[in-house]
Amino acid sequence: MGATITLWLGAGAVVACVMMLGSALLSNTGPSAAAAPTDLRQVVLRQRARKRLLGPVMGRFADALHSLTPSGALERLDHKIDVAGARANWTVDRLIGTKVLVGGLAALFGVVRVLNSPTFGTILMAVMLTAGGFGLPDFLLSRRADDRQRQIDLELPDMLDQMVVSVEAGLGFEAAMSRVAKQNDGALPHEIARVLQDIRFGMSRRDSFAKLLKRTESQDLKQFVNALTQAERLGMPLADVLRVQAEEMRKKRKMRAEEMALKIPVKLVFPLLLCIMPALFVVIIGPAILRVSSSGL
């Protein structure tokens, strides 16, 4: 009875900590810019109580984790956030804090289970829960990054076709990019808008495209940027380069679709063998087995 109560108390503590973590990390609400008071004391008092109480604590916690994390790991996490397109909602400090807190909550739940039933299986489960909780934010961020890169690969041929039409109609290259970024919505138009913003701030086109390649991992986009940079260096007409690249990207998209279609029969083999074939054998052979057993043979 006491072990059961301890287990339920531990589970309740984990749930409460998860709710506090989500409230502290994901809450971005605050006073609007239009109605913001000018007095700093009023600005602080208008914030929610949990933000005033947990904000300084989470800030110190994040600073401590930032100082303990190696610089190479910080750079990898920062690059992963850029590739996932989560810069508006996530920072390196928030990601590290989430990893540590989720891993700590999983470890707490594992410790409760070990205290309730100290066996090898529960100890192994506690270790796996801790490792899984620590790596869960990285896994979710990597999934988002992969989905974003696939979206960029799908959007690139259509974007190039629109740029070809705009350039042939008399627009300049940057004007065509701006038109494409305004008329479309998605990961690639967002990145094009960032490139144009860097150019307006005084960065050269080559450097802005180099930053674009650092923020993405799309091989098709890398090929397009390299071809565009080479064409600009050699003085080739951009309309011809865009037309050739658009045709190549359409062919690549078609080949990827055909490759995915060819993989479907292979992926269906295991569900067919594990789920459909046993049930089919039961339906076909089952009545014969029942007849044989009832006849006493």
Give the pLDDT confidence of 203-246 residue by residue, as tens digits.
888 888 888 888 888 888 888 888 888 888 887 888 888 888 88
Question: What is the identity of the amino acid at 133?
Answer: G
Q: Which domain holds residue 156?
A: 150-254
In-domain check, residue 260: no
Give me the amino acid identity at 190: H
- pLDDT 10s digits, 135-184: 888 888 888 888 888 888 888 888 888 888 888 888 888 888 888 888 88
Among the candidates 144, 168, 190, a domain finishes at 144
- Residue 179's CATH number: 1.20.81
Mean pLDDT over each residue of the chain, to the nearest integer: 76
Identify whether residues 136 and 83 lie together within a single domain.
yes
Most confident of 131-135, 197-201, 290-294: 197-201
Residues 182 and 213 in one domain: yes
Quote the pTM value. Answer: 0.66
The DSSP H or E segment spanning 236 is none
Q: What total of structural domains would you count in the chain?
A: 2
Match 């600009």 to its residue by tokens.
232
CA 142 from centroid of its chain's CA atoms? 5
Domain membership flag for residue 294: no
The answer to whether the CB of 126 falls within 8 A of the CB of 157 is: no
Residues 156, 223: one domain?
yes
Note whether residue 114 is domain-resident: yes
Which run of H or E residues covers position 90? none
> How large is the average pLDDT for residues 82-94?
75
Euclidean distance between CA atoms 160 and 251, whole angstroms: 13
Burial of 51 per CB tally in 10 Å (0-12, 13-18, 19+): middle
Query: Given CA atoms 8, 11, 13, 16 in this order, what sign does their dihedral have?
Result: negative
pLDDT at 72 over 50: yes
Residues 134 and 205 in one domain: no
Cβ 242 vs Cβ 160: under 8 Å: yes
71 and 128 share a domain?
yes
Both 96 and 188 in one domain: the answer is: no
Q: Are residues 140 and 7 in the same domain?
A: yes
138 and 155 both lie in a single domain = no
